[in-house]
Copies of this chain bind each other. A is one copy, B any other.
Amino acid sequence: MPASAFDDINWDMQSTYPSSLTQLGTLGKVIQDRLAATSGGQVNVTFQEPGAIVPALEAFDAVSSGAVQAAWSTPGYWTGKDSALALFAAVPFGPQAGEYYAWIRFGGGQELLDEIYANYNIKSLICGVIAPEASGWFREEIKSIDDLKGKKMRFFGLGAKVMEKVGVSTQLLAGGDIFPALELGTIDATEFSMPAIDLKLGFYQVAKHYYFPGWHQQSTLFELMINKDEWDALSDDTKALFETVCEANVAYGLAEGEAIQFTALKELQDNGVTIHTWPPEILDTLRAAWGEVVEEESAGNPNFKKAWDSLSTFRENYKTWSDVGYLK
């Protein structure tokens, strides 16, 4: 057989999610398996559980310095480095998966992401997308915005800033810490992910009111982070392989996410969970609060403003198409 044009790679990929977590972890494993299968075993990028090399939230610095070659994560974890990265993870009242990935791939999103990460010696490939999240779990029914005031809630990303605006006291807990906090009453409510994932974490055992839609996260992007020196040194063929495997993971993750929610919803209802949808007036209030958050974030960080302007312009244009193209 002829020689292949792939580089021989033996990298570690520090995951920010455990491999046991539906989609959030399993999609990272798919990357590892597909890179190996499509390279004749030459491109080995080994999934490492959180903490195996460095703790999950130190993956950014580890990839940046080259201490680890790669990481599996979401840009939304790194807002402490640059708040603009939140816009490459999940946007309140933002695009669904197809529109979001269209912006990344053909609307200038990837180029803006490259600009930001270049400051940290990191190349990030968008390498997965999932369907909408749920809005969250509440121990008590929420009938008005007033019922939200004073509630202590686990919340992620830009949505947390919106919740703060309407009087919710938010904190960010890792997936494994949420259940005990909810059980003990340290928090009154939590959002985490989609029904199929939330089911596994058992929140339904201590909170019976499950709210939709997840206005804060209508789709979520995941990334394969690679130390930029390592990336730049790869052959064109190997780069093409990474890009192809990641693009396949986008379609795979979206399809899987869409396919596995209804069974989970049914199982939750069989376990006594009540499914609620937010009334329009609550969504309107949250949307207005999001407008304030955008103004503040844009004023505080030129990178945020630049990415927001790019995404907003794309969405305005896209709307002229989606308004007529799609059956209501």
* 0 or 1 for each of A91-107: is its CB under 8 Å from B? (1 = yes): 00100111101111111
Tell me the minimal C-beta distance from A224 to chain B in angstroms: 14
Tell me the minimal C-beta distance from A135 to chain B in angstroms: 10
A34 to B237, CA, bound (A): 10
Tell me the minimal C-beta distance from A280 to chain B in angstroms: 9
Identify which of residues 273-327 in chain A touch chain B, using a CB-to-CB cut-off of 8 Å.
Answer: 275, 277, 283, 317-318, 320-321, 324-327
Contact A265 B321 (CB under 8 A): yes
A1 to B195, CA, bound (A): 46
* Segment touching B, from A3-11, A78-86, A171-179: A3-11
Copies of this chain in its oligomeric complex? 2
Known: A255-B98, A321-B262. A5 touches B212 (CB 8 A): no
**Chain B contacts for A6, CB-based, 8 A:** 1, 4, 40
Say which residue of B213, B237, B250 sits within 8 Å of A325 (CB atoms).
B213
Say which residue of B3, B195, B215, B321 sits within 8 Å of A4 (CB atoms).
B3
Known: A102-B256, A102-B258, A327-B218. A5 touches B321 (CB 8 A): no
Contact A214 B325 (CB under 8 A): yes
A241 to B6, CA, bound (A): 14
- Interface residue tally for chain A (C-beta within 8 Å): 69
Asked if A59 is an interface residue, CB under 8 A from chain B, the answer is no
Asked if A200 is an interface residue, CB under 8 A from chain B, the answer is no
Question: Would you list the 10 A-B pairs with minimal beta carbon distance, nearest first?
Answer: A5-B40, A4-B4, A106-B259, A247-B248, A102-B258, A212-B324, A1-B3, A251-B251, A250-B251, A37-B240
**What would 22 A/B residue contacts be, using CB atoms closer than 8 Å?**
A1-B8, A2-B4, A2-B8, A2-B40, A4-B42, A5-B40, A6-B40, A38-B237, A38-B240, A93-B327, A98-B254, A98-B258, A132-B326, A134-B325, A213-B325, A244-B248, A245-B248, A248-B250, A262-B317, A262-B321, A265-B321, A283-B327
Known: A37-B240, A214-B325, A262-B321; 5 extra A-B contacts, CB below 8 A, are A37-B237, A97-B98, A213-B327, A244-B244, A277-B324
